[in-house]
Structure 1
């Protein structure tokens, strides 16, 4: 019987879940290292012709999220009304497509079409800009959308509507221009960033007037960073500045990853935070980078409470970085050169004591906005509801003692309520993760492998293969681990986060190092 060592696996336990928020929402998904958008001329603050065509089409085909909100730009209503009056043969296939590709989470519908537009070549064929590279998971699910969209684009003469919409976009861009310029200059000045013209990638803010209001969508494709801003009750400058900080600070994390990993023990206590996203649980470098960003925000706004609040949400290094930034401000070296010195100043033992005193928040504080229309998820019944309840208990396992055991009971109950193999696969996925919590890695491995026999959906199958690879890596079994990661990447419909973890696994990021016993 194989004996498993417990090796940095618990951080993978919670699957990433995107949901609508009451503040202007940020689709702050973990940066997928995937297909870059098309290499076309751009400005830092601009509109997107392709995005307009995509969203105009889905508005005509049944995308109604907050269509009656007074926060919408008037352009959305005008385009919807015009297209509704047209007798278009291409509309029926478009409606069927949009209906058949509605995600279970209503808040994710807009996001998948935004992703599609950002990695698209545009009119007239709307094919991927880089078809030979992996596409973002949500956009990949729309792989057969181009033909449907192209037919509608031609018949509806969307190009004419785009030209007529220019005054609306120019007004929206003008309203954002000065605040955005100030935010970008503020960050550049603080980090002492000088554009030498040699950096790869771009940062682009796109104004969206056709989607639901009060949303900010963020995307990172390889070296390119995008912020898509919808009409809002108040200008989302904080979110834009945060995204720009990501653009400037993320490269520091990649560049000094080895130095950051030496402080990885400081991230262990962060896993106790029920609010910390999965992307930060499985990647200390990303966690540390986000902590630095939040620390910079607290210094820019001269509000130390922002760093303290961030720590209570799981970003445990934010107050430590905020304190060190005070020394950075008193010298003249740019952050890109000063950062390793800042890391060397961290006293790990003292920092651990400071972090151990953090009282984590149970619920994330949010700003509230007036919402005039709300999309409700469909009611679940039977085994689907049992699985959903079990998953919620598992995700909330830190909030109440016994939640994990209750989740286990419900995962088992779901298998008794249905004979459907995909449902059984989801149950085994839950049971496997609970086995990991119990340090029963042999059972976890067996359950993850059982999933592959049960016609799992792409997300469950891909994550099962990633976990199998991680378990193999924990034993030093490199070849089986590599095979599992490759198999995960071959799953069509794999999530961005699972793809990223599989890609990292192929680089040997999770391979066991016998010389580093203290890290086990």
Structure 2
């Protein structure tokens, strides 16, 4: 072994050092198991049952859940009293999902609450009012119904105040549907002495966090070792697991708030403390991989043609219109295929092999295992491809090469992206017979029928500019329509129709009326690019800087704005054609430049 280590060190000194760092981290890694009363983070991607759906980031960053100390762990395992309060409210009002498989503490707390309600007329009155509200705000989709309350819990101050930590306009949209439950919840909590119940059962909560701590630590370390990435201390990004036994253990609820990746999960009763670690690991892979992909967001334009190959796939809207999320998810699927449980027992080398025939028999068993394991992994890759994740096979093959070369994902990411034969992969995607339904995925948003301005966004992507304009104009004619978003649609249509003067007017209308940070940021970026084309660098710089001050907090927005500050934007101009008006100077006769250069991810 010493010889092998020295040889390996000579051939791969960087990775050898990384291995030593990771092993040293094994004993030092802190995944604190805390019981916290505080809630929330930046803005939101709030999603249902094993789901994440992104929402705009507020212009003012709200207090974060259990604000970590500088130099502390970036990975934490915690509990939250506001989440406990809302979970209790749901349990009191008929939320019985997966009760038989829940941790015993869930049944104990339910019994204690029932006893308090039975002993007090006042408690019964407040319970009835609370449950009437819950019934009136019940959604048909059970997972979405739960998600709206979890989203709200993450934005609440500790009891007894239980008030939102941000303005209501900055709350995730799903949480605003139930924010008025808070006065009823505070009254009910007082009447049944809910804080005392929380304190009484804190030791059981802490015991459950201890049971989850070691499996979570192992998952994090194994993932980082496989990707050959170090486990770093807190640097502004954080992966947070919230444990709440009052929720159904069959549900994993995840969301991303700016730089915080948050998973709300519930431990099972048998085996005690078991959680869906695969779902947690999926979000952790997003935590590690997304920054690597987004760091190359500006180089993704050449990959845009790949989106044409997934228009008929059973994917959600964002994956059909944004290349970076599609690439990220496909890469994660590939990593998961490489590291999946293949359902086979790996041969164990017998002790004391002496006969050559015994060694040959063992080698044959190992070879047979490897072939079957690879076949099982390839089946998983094929399934992902047919579900719409059309780059899974490409990344699976690339990761296989990465393993053989002993390089890290960070070091190999550039080659994976820049070395891709886009035409080949697009053609491959178009040959896939997609399944009628997609996969259950931790980041799968709730299926929805596109209507209104969302439909207009899709029409822009598909090139139906007249259809998109028609929808936007109808929205402007409606006094209650979203006029800011309608102007945003019209502005981009005008760009693609080579009418920059009209586009500038519409973008200005957006800036005057929109409150959505992502829409505002990209309107500034568009204006910056237009001013660059008009050789007004001073105005362009002001717009790019304004895009950064909006604090959209999405990596692609920052990358586009910072690129604009570093160098002027350029686009092809029409040859041999005089514009009718210098303010409406055509930029490209085909419109391709506008479609490529002015197509950011649509706001979520």
Match in the other structure for 2:526:
508
Say yes or no: does 1:334 pair with 2:408: yes
1:385-419 residue CA offsets vs partner (Å, 9 max, x unmatched): xxxxxx98x77xxxxxxxxxxxxxxxxxxxxxxxx
| Match in the other structure for 1:278 | 317
User: Which deviations, in whole Å up to 9, do the C-alpha atoms of 1:259-308 show, x marking residues without a partner?
Assistant: 222222223211221x1111212211111111111111112226233332
Which range is displaced more, 297-306 or 142-151?
Answer: 142-151
Determine if the alignment matches structure 1 residue 250 to structure 2 residue 290.
Answer: yes
- Tell me which of 170, 194, 197 is aligned to 2:230: 194
Partner of 1:494: none
Structure 1, 149-158 or 282-291: larger mean CA deviation: 149-158
Shift of 1:243: 0.5
Residues 1:184 and 1:473: Cα distance change in structure 2 (over 3 Å): farther
Determine if the alignment matches structure 1 residue 46 to structure 2 residue 86. no
CA distance in structure 2 between the partners assigned to 1:65 and 1:120 by the alignment:
21
Structure 2 counterpart SS, 1:122: coil
User: Could you say what secondary structure the match of 2:170 adopts?
Assistant: coil
2: CA distance between counterparts of 1:80 and 1:156?
A: 12
- Match in the other structure for 2:465: 441
1:435, CA displacement in angstroms? 7.1
CA contact (8 A) 1:219 1:227 kept: yes
State which of 20, 23, 26 in structure 1 corresponds to 2:50. Answer: 26
Cα separation, 1, equivalents of 2:108 and 2:479: 45
Report if the CA contact (8 A) 1:472-1:481 is conserved: no
Q: Alignment RMSD, CA only?
A: 3.7
Alignment of 1:96-175 (within 5 A): 96-131=132-167, 134-175=170-211
| Alpha carbons 1:45, 1:204 under 8 Å: kept | yes
Q: How many residues align?
A: 432
Does the 8 A contact of 1:473 with 1:510 survive in 2? no
**Match of 2:102, SS?**
coil
Q: What 5-or-longer segments of structure 2 have no aligned partner? A: 1-44, 69-74, 341-373, 442-446, 531-569, 573-587, 596-604
For 2:236 and 2:288, the matched residues in 1 are separated by 12
1:72-118, CA deviations, whole angstroms, 9 ceiling, x for partnerless residues? 33333333343342432543443343344334534312111111111
Q: Deviations over 1:418-472 (max 9, x none)?
A: xxxxxxxx7x669868976996533542333323544658xx8786565445434
Task: Kindly state the Cα deviation for residue 173 of structure 1 after the two structures are TM-superposed.
Answer: 2.8
Q: 1:36 to 1:267 in 2, by over 3 A?
A: farther
Distance 2:512 2:319 in 1: 23
CA distance in 2, matches of 1:443, 1:279: 20
SS in 2 for 1:120: coil
Displacement of 1:215 = 0.8
| 1:340-489 equivalent positions in 2, closer than 5 A | 340-364=414-438, 441-454=465-478, 467-475=489-497, 476=500, 477-481=503-507, 483-484=509-510, 487-489=513-515
The SS at the match of 1:489 is coil
Does residue 65 (structure 1) correspond to residue 95 (structure 2)? The answer is yes
Q: Residue deviations 1:135-168, cap 9 Å, x none?
A: 2211233444443333333332211111222344
Counterparts of 1:289-308 in structure 2, within 5 Å, are 289-301=328-340, 303-308=377-382
Cα distance in 2 between the residues matched to 1:106 and 1:481: 39
Correspondence for 2:110 among 80, 89, 95: 80
Q: Distance in 1 between matches of 2:528 and 2:144?
A: 31
What SS does the aligned partner of 2:436 have? coil
Q: Post-superposition shift, 1:187?
A: 1.2
Bigger-Rg structure (1/2): 2
Q: TM-score, normalised by structure 1?
A: 0.72
The alignment partner of 1:225 has SS state of strand
CA–CA distance in 2 between the matches of 1:285 and 1:250?
Answer: 9
Deviation at 1:254, TM superposition (A): 1.9
Shift in alpha-carbon separation, 1:68–1:213, aligned structure 2, 3 A: closer
The 8 Å contact of residues 311 and 319 in structure 1, kept in 2 or not, is answered as yes
Closer, same or farther: CA 214–336 of 1 in aligned 2, 3 Å: same
Check if 1:315 corresponds to 2:396. Answer: no
1:312-333: CA deviation from partner (whole Å, max 9, x where unpaired): 2222111111111122223344
Instruction: State the alpha-carbon separation in 1 of the partners of residues 205 and 476 from structure 2.
Output: 49
| Equivalent residues of 1:37, 1:221 under 8 A apart | no
Residues 228 and 409 in structure 2, CA contact (< 8 A), matched pair in contact too: yes
- Tell me the distance in 1 between the aligned counterparts of 2:55 and 2:405: 32
Q: Identify which range, 501-510 or 228-237, moves more after superposition.
A: 501-510
Q: Give the conservation status (yes or no) of the 8 Å contact 2:239–2:260.
A: yes
Indicate the residue corresponding to 2:556 in structure 1: none
Structure 2 equivalent of residue 95 of structure 1: 131
Range with greater deviation from structure 2 (103-112 or 128-137): 128-137
Give the Cα separation in 1 of the matches to 2:495 and 2:246: 46
CA deviations on 1:475-500 (whole Å, 9 max, x unpaired) are 4413403534764536xxxxxxxx75
